[in-house]
Amino acid sequence: MALENRIVIIVDNSNIFIEGQKYSAKVKGAARHEGDMHDPQDPSWRIDFGKLLELVANGRIVSHAILVGSRPPTNDSVWHAAEEHGFQVTVHERSTSNKEKAVDTELVAQGTEIVCTSNKPQYIAILSGDRDFIPLVNVAQKRGWSVEMWAFKNAFRENGQMAMTVDNICPLDDIFPEIGQNAFEWP
């Protein structure tokens, strides 16, 4: 069965946001300081949800755009901005130790439901390099869907399980200047 020119876009907000901030810091030449366990993050970088949706869709009709994340501070307008650009947003509370919970599971569940209830196979873009999405990839491929992984190169290994399972890898590094902007001067 031929694929429809339609796409389901599934976004792990924290993954894209944090890795985007790391990539922005790298582009700006910020280096890890001695003793640091983590790569530096540019706190000024923000996702342009409209442009992200447009570039990932790449001319295909967006049948579903799903973004899941965890509760930010109450004054954060990120969820409203995503909804304004066509995303169906689900937000989960963080654990008592401030860890993100249920985000990947929510995305896999919603994505699997869409794949299993669609009449014809489509494209599905998973915006995350996490291998937690492999069950969704497997279900989609069994049903004839084409699966794309959109992630920053530093968020996955090219020979990693997720990268080896999807049909197409689309590095967000390649479209970085178009999918975000800096809200203020940093560093």
Q: Which whole-number Å values give the CA distances from 156 to 80, 126, 180, in the listed order?
A: 29, 13, 20
In this structure, what DSSP letter does residue 93 have? P
Using alpha carbons, select from 76, 55, 71, 137 the residue that is nearest to residue 103: 71
pLDDT tens, 28-57? 999 988 888 899 999 999 999 999 999 999
- pLDDT, residue 101, reads 75
Measure the CA–CA gap between 131 and 149, rounded to whole angstroms. 10
- Strand pairing report for 88-92 and 180-182: unpaired
Q: Which residues does residue 148 pair with via DSSP β-bridges, in sequence order?
A: 125, 168
Q: Which two tokens stand for residue 124?
A: 């599905």
pLDDT digits (tens, 9 = 90+) for 121-157: 999 999 999 999 999 999 999 999 999 999 999 999 9
Distance of CA 97 to the CA centre of its chain: 24
Query: What pLDDT is attached to residue 100?
Result: 78
Q: Ramachandran region of residue 37, left (φ > 0), alpha (ψ -120 to 50) or beta? A: alpha
Q: Could you give all domains of the chain from N- to C-terminal order, each with its CATH number?
A: 6-31+39-182 (3.40.50.1010)
Q: Structure tokens of 62? A: 């967006």
What pairs with residue 7 in β-bridges?
Answer: 62, 123
Question: pTM for the complete prediction?
Answer: 0.93
Residue 73: band (very low, low, confident or very high) from pLDDT cuts 50, 70, 90: low
Tell me, rounded to whole angstroms, the distance of Cα 145 from its chain centroid: 18
Q: Which residues contact 176 (CB under 8 A, 6 or more apart)?
A: 20, 23, 24, 27, 152
CA–chain centroid gap for 35, Å, is: 29
Which strand ranges, in their side-by-side order, compose the sheet holding 88-92? Answer: 88-92, 61-70, 6-12, 123-127, 146-151, 168-171
Q: Which helix (H) or strand (E) element contains residue 15?
A: helix 13-27
Task: Name the token pair of 60.
Answer: 């295909």
